[in-house]
Amino acid sequence: MQAILDITPQQYQRHKIHTQDRDWAETNCYVDVWIELLHALDLDPMAAMSFSLTQDFEGDQWTFFKFQLNELYDLYGLEVQELVIWKSLIENIQEQVALGRPVLVELDSMYLPDTAGTAYHQEHVKSTVAVNYIDAENQKMGYFHAQGYYELSGDDFVEVFALPGAKTKMTLAPYVEVVKTRQQVKRSKQDLQQLAMKSVMRQLQQLPTENPFIKFRHQFEKDFAWLLEQPIAKFHEYAFVTFRQFGACFELAANFLEWLDADDASLKSVVERYKSISQTTKVYQFQLARALNRKKMVDLSAIDEMAKAWQYARDELTQYFAAKSL
């Protein structure tokens, strides 16, 4: 068996972001897995969340927000590289884990025990996990996923890697990244905040120039008419790439700014606006589901209010960091 961190699911303590009462218990698979992996490496993931400020409507979905690899290197000394799967998936993972490198790999949630009650043994859903240990001989694997650290074994191990005897057939290798930790550095919170400030300055250059909620409102009016003719399962897919993405992202943005400077009055007002977007989105998503079940049009004023909150937050952020750069 190869292992990187000496941990078990029973004794692992999740990061506080996954233990607090939140609007969005989970964000997306890539962000959640990095939160827990950084935390397990004794690094503070809050410092690398400036990406949450640049959420935009991309025309048919909202930005699938992710940790930026250059920031993971600048903040923590972690080098992330794509791993080419040229042997079998399990062989390449074994070799990298043996070198002390966590492996981020897209696997089928159908065989991930932590998704019990949703996808586990029910439906095929791609999700990113970070492999911490793997024991091919005894068919066991320890992995970070969603809100914590878990293990899988037996038939799930056979199926997730499409080993001989599996019902699953792996026709294409998944996207895989390897985390090289040889230059890992642990910085003080003050040092991380200073680096994060610089990162925010870069991110502000990528802020949407047009209010994304105004763009989304126009598209959503058309989409809602289409959704009325679709099964409710299609709405859940739609909600994941729209409401779930911007709702969870702006909650993270509020968390990040609180971590950056919880005492500044200007940032507090921005935090309040981002939290209002998160909270409104959570409620609105439930209202939409009910409206679709009843085949009724929904009030769009909530999106208008979110547009106002976003514009205020954008203007305040721009002014705040412009003053900081003087």
**pLDDT tens over the chain, length 326 residues:** 678 999 999 999 999 999 989 999 999 999 999 999 999 999 999 999 999 999 999 999 999 999 999 999 999 999 999 999 999 999 999 999 999 999 999 999 999 999 999 999 999 999 999 999 999 999 999 999 999 999 999 999 999 999 999 998 888 899 999 999 999 999 999 999 999 999 999 999 999 999 999 999 999 999 999 999 999 899 999 999 999 999 999 999 999 999 998 888 889 999 999 999 999 999 999 999 999 988 888 899 999 999 999 999 999 999 988 887 75
What is the Cβ-side half-sphere exposure of residue 3, based on CA atoms within 13 angstroms? Answer: 9
Whether 73 and 52 have beta carbons less than 8 Å apart is answered as: no
Q: What is the pTM of this model?
A: 0.95
**CA gap 287, 192 in Å, rounded:** 40
**Which of the 8 DSSP states describes residue 175?**
P
* Predicted local confidence at residue 326, as pLDDT: 56
Q: Domain boundaries in the chain?
A: 2-42+79-180, 189-324
* Predicted local confidence at residue 38, as pLDDT: 98
Decide: helix, strand or coil at residue 178.
Answer: strand
* Predicted local confidence at residue 42, as pLDDT: 97
